[in-house]
């Protein structure tokens, strides 16, 4: 049944010249039929080069928006309109504008997990893999980092020369992991390396052997012969097991499951292909131009 649906999607994809992009946190059955898999920024860059009119982005809303910003001429569809990242809206654009007025020496750095409206009022975007490089390259000491206080705190710990003010936002999935979870996982798997995403709280990151983006975690886990405890969304552990069946991968905590990332099913992808259902990302020219600026700045600074 599942295989049948996957075959239908693969056939339709060719007939209609549609590209399917899937964030690494998507379910395995979607990852299997996607043309490309990766993090939100990697996928946006890939989409730019694709020779197709329509792209289906399996992930959450800010990812589809970022893709649209880099490929405004393409039709970008998010199969499920309700799939959003709660962290992306934890600060309003008005608050950022107000902060900038009150603190003119500051530059505002936005994690890519933000809405288009938020990006439009920020100075530069970062991904979890580029944040250190970009923040370090900024020509100002004073920085407001939004919205993820955990990623911001990690960057701040690595760049003590910068004055980084953190917003009180967080990923509710990663932020829920505790020190107790780390101790239990280490007791169960004492020889395993602990690979952690910097969206985890600082006291949890203290237990990490490797701290890095989703891509860095995947690359490390695929390369090593060690057992690995995976400290990010469960789908990464599932993906690793699929890629390396003889590898030993354990999830750091059962809490690491994002309901928004799991909202899109294979049937939703199929429905979006046959009936143009789903949510087409429409951004006004003005918003598109303003939101694109911090992305371009990220690219200029080597992100």
Question: Smaller CB distance to ligand SF4: residue 22 or 258?
Answer: 258
CB of 146 to ligand SF4, least distance (A): 13
The residue ranges of DSSP E strands in the chain, in sequence order, are 18-23, 36-38, 54-58, 75-78, 107-111, 124-126, 142-146, 163-166, 193-196, 210-211, 228-231, 249-251, 279-280
Q: Per CB under 6 A, does 260 bind ligand SF4?
A: yes
Query: What values do phi and psi take at 21, rounded to 5?
Result: -115, 140
Q: Where are the alpha helices (DSSP H) in 114-265?
A: 116-119, 131-137, 149-158, 179-188, 202-205, 214-223, 234-243
| Residue placing its CB nearer to ligand SF4 in the complex, 170 or 270 | 170
Residue 87 engages ligand SF4 in binding (rule: CB under 6 A): yes
Candidate segments 28-36, 81-89, 123-131, 156-164, binder of ligand SF4 by CB under 6 A: 81-89
Cβ neighbours of 11 (radius 10 Å) = 10
End-to-end Cα spacing for the chain = 41
Question: Is residue 150 involved in binding ligand SF4 (CB under 6 A)?
Answer: no
Report how many residues bind ligand SF4 under the rule CB under 6 A.
13
Kindly list the strands in the beta sheet with 107-111, ordered across the sheet, starting from the edge strand earlier in the chain: 124-126, 107-111, 142-146, 163-166
The verdict on 127 binding ligand SF4 (CB under 6 A) reads no
In the bound complex, what is the minimum distance in angstroms from residue 259's beta carbon to ligand SF4?
Answer: 8
**281 three-class SS:** coil
Minimum distance from residue 151 beta carbon to ligand SF4 (Å) = 10
Q: Which is nearer to ligand SF4, 111 or 207 (CB)?
A: 111
Taking CB under 6 A as the rule, which mask of x and - marks residues 215-244 in contact with ligand SF4? ------------------x-----------
User: Does 258 participate in binding ligand SF4 (rule CB under 6 A)?
Assistant: yes
Q: By CB under 6 A, which span of 11-19, 90-98, 172-180, 184-192 interacts with ligand SF4?
A: 172-180
Decide: is 261 part of the binding site for ligand SF4 (CB under 6 A): yes
Each residue 6-45 as x (binds ligand SF4 by CB under 6 A) or -, in order, gives ----------------------------------------
Tell whether residue 171 is a contact of ligand SF4 (CB under 6 A): yes
Show Cβ contacts of residue 45 under 8 Å, excluding neighbours closer than 6 positions: 70
Q: What is the smallest separation between the CB atom of 251 and ligand SF4, expressed in angstroms?
A: 13
- Using the rule CB under 6 A, which residue among 42, 113, 114, 235 binds ligand SF4? 113
For 182, list phi and psi in degrees, rounded to 5.
Answer: -65, -45
279 bridge partner residues: 78
Segment contacting ligand SF4 by CB under 6 A, of 48-56, 155-163, 167-175, 277-285:
167-175
279 CB-contact burial (10 Å; exposed 0-12 / middle 13-18 / buried 19+): middle
CA distance 161 to 122: 21
Q: Which of 173, 185, 237, 252 binds ligand SF4 (CB under 6 A)?
A: 173
Q: Are 221 and 249 in contact (CB under 8 A)?
A: yes
Query: 129 with 215: CB under 8 angstroms?
Result: yes
Give residues in contact with ligand SF4 (CB under 6 A): 60, 85-87, 113, 171-174, 233, 258, 260-261
């Amino acid at each position: 049944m599942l295989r049948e649906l996957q075959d239908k999607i693969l056939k339709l994809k060719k007939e209609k010249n549609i590209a399917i992009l899937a964030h690494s946190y998507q379910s395995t059955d979607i990852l299997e039929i996607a043309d490309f898999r990766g993090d939100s920024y990697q996928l946006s860059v890939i989409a730019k080069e694709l020779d197709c009119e329509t792209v289906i982005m399996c992930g959450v809303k800010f990812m589809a928006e970022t893709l649209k910003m880099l490929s405004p001429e393409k039709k970008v569809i998010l199969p499920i309109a309700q799939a959003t990242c709660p962290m992306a809206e934890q600060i309003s654009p008005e608050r950022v504008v107000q902060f900038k007025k009150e603190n003119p020496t500051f530059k505002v750095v936005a994690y890519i997990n933000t809405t288009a409206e938020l990006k439009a009022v920020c100075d530069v975007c970062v991904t979890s893999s580029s944040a250190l490089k970009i923040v370090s390259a900024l020509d100002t000491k004073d920085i407001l980092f939004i919205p993820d206080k955990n990623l911001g705190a990690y960057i701040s710990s690595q760049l003590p020369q910068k004055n980084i003010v953190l917003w009180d936002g967080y990923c509710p999935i990663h932020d829920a992991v505790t020190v107790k979870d780390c101790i239990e996982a280490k007791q169960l798997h004492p020889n395993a390396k602990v690979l952690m995403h910097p969206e985890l709280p600082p006291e949890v990151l203290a237990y990490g052997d490797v701290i890095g983006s989703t891509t860095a975690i995947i690359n490390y886990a695929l390369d090593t012969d060690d057992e690995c405890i995976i400290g990010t969304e469960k789908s990464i552990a599932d993906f690793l097991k699929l890629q390396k069946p003889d590898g030993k991968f354990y999830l750091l905590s059962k809490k690491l499951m994002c309901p928004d990332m799991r909202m899109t099913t294979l049937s939703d992808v199929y429905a979006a292909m046959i009936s143009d259902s789903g949510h087409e990302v429409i951004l006004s020219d003005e918003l598109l131009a303003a939101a694109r600026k911090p992305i371009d700045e990220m690219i200029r600074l080597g992100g």
